[in-house]
Amino acid sequence: MSRAEPETSPQDDAARAAWLYYVGGMTQDQIAGELGISRQRAQRLVSRAMAEGLIHVRLNHRIAACLDLETALKDRFGLMRCRVVPSLGAGADPVTAIGSAAAAEMERFLRMPDPLVIALGTGRALRGMVDALTPMEAEQHRLVSLIGNIAPDGSASFFDVVMRIADKVRAPHYPMPVPVISPTPEERAAFHALAPVQRVVELARKADVVVVGVGQMSDDAPLLADGFVSRAELDEMQAAGAVGEVAGWVFDSAGNYLDLGTNRRTGGVRVTPGLDRPAVGIAAGASKVLAIIGAMKSRIINSLVTDEATATAILNRP
């Protein structure tokens, strides 16, 4: 008795077409013939596989221009490590370009045999990194969030990444069980007086590795777009010189944290400038240039993953 052919899903078809294209080296005409479909459908399936993250592409050749930019950034800002990837061109989302390089950097730590505490920020760049991570077993490490995981409406913060990474690498994880930004300093203090919160805060403060996004504080600030600060609060911080934020903590062009605005109510753990252990910033885009420079100047971050256009813009600044 012959075995019935299992039904295939649209994702199965897309994954198979992408496998034939990227691994098998087939042309779209050859894929069409192999799968018994039209060339146009083969093209759509390969595109769908990429769009839905069914296949990840990593560049194993280090391009000379990117290597030169890495060296220049390390020399100017005293970075421990720097990865610069090719840009995708005008109009493309830079997060797409840096995701795989950021994932490779994260995997370097996750594959270390000795136990590490890895503290994580949040945001689109880190979520892109998680999407590009290779699933693995990394039970020896502990993952801890630097930033609160409660949004203003009480929901879980959309871009929180600790649980997403933990699910991929099977590592113990510790969310920061506080609001991203509390309504008042007193409420923040009340949360931080709780013993479970204190234990997570202490773990984050002594992390062996820090991996964070870098947010801009211009009019398109993620904190404003995501509803964590009001327009009036952003105006106040901009007037005081705010250019960027890391894990919700706002700083000026020299990388100095501001003693005003939401910094008095931010729920998570501030990354201490000048750490002697890796503090990796994952960020790219023209709007983030000043923020990245400020974070590197004061060594809130001492390592960087970015793209070619952003690196060039940083180095072109006086």
Can you tell me the distance from the alpha carbon of 65 to that of 188, in angstroms, rounded to the nearest whole number? 46
Segment 223-249 mean pLDDT:
94
Identify the band that residue 7 occupies on the pLDDT scale cut at 50, 70 and 90: low
What is the CATH architecture assignment of 10-51? Orthogonal Bundle (1.10)
Three-class DSSP category at 259: coil
Mean pLDDT of 230-259: 96
What local confidence, expressed as pLDDT, does residue 62 receive?
A: 65
pLDDT in tens, 54-72: 776 666 666 788 899 999 9
CB 83 within 8 A of CB 304: yes
Say if residue 81's pLDDT is above 80: yes
Supply the pLDDT for residue 159. 66
C-beta separation of 127 from 99 below 8 A: no
- Which CATH number, 3.40.640.10, 3.40.50.1360, 3.90.700.10, 3.30.465.10, labels domain 64-316? 3.40.50.1360
Task: For residues 237 and 217, give the distance between their C-alpha atoms in angstroms, rounded to a whole number.
Answer: 8
Tokens standing for residue 289: 């240039």
Per-residue model confidence (pLDDT) at position 318: 83
pLDDT digits (tens, 9 = 90+) for 278-302: 999 999 999 999 999 999 999 999 9
Q: Domain spans of the chain?
A: 10-51, 64-316
Give the DSSP H or E segment for 95. Answer: helix 94-110
The reported pTM is 0.83
pLDDT tens digits along 135-184: 999 999 999 999 998 887 778 776 679 999 999 999 999 999 999 999 99
- Quote the pLDDT of residue 106: 96
Confidence of residue 2 (pLDDT cuts 50, 70, 90): very low
Q: Are 41 and 48 in contact (CB under 8 A)?
A: no
| Alpha carbons 219 and 60: distance in angstroms, whole number | 37
The pLDDT of residue 25: 81
Angle between helices 10-18 and 28-35 (to 10 degrees): 130
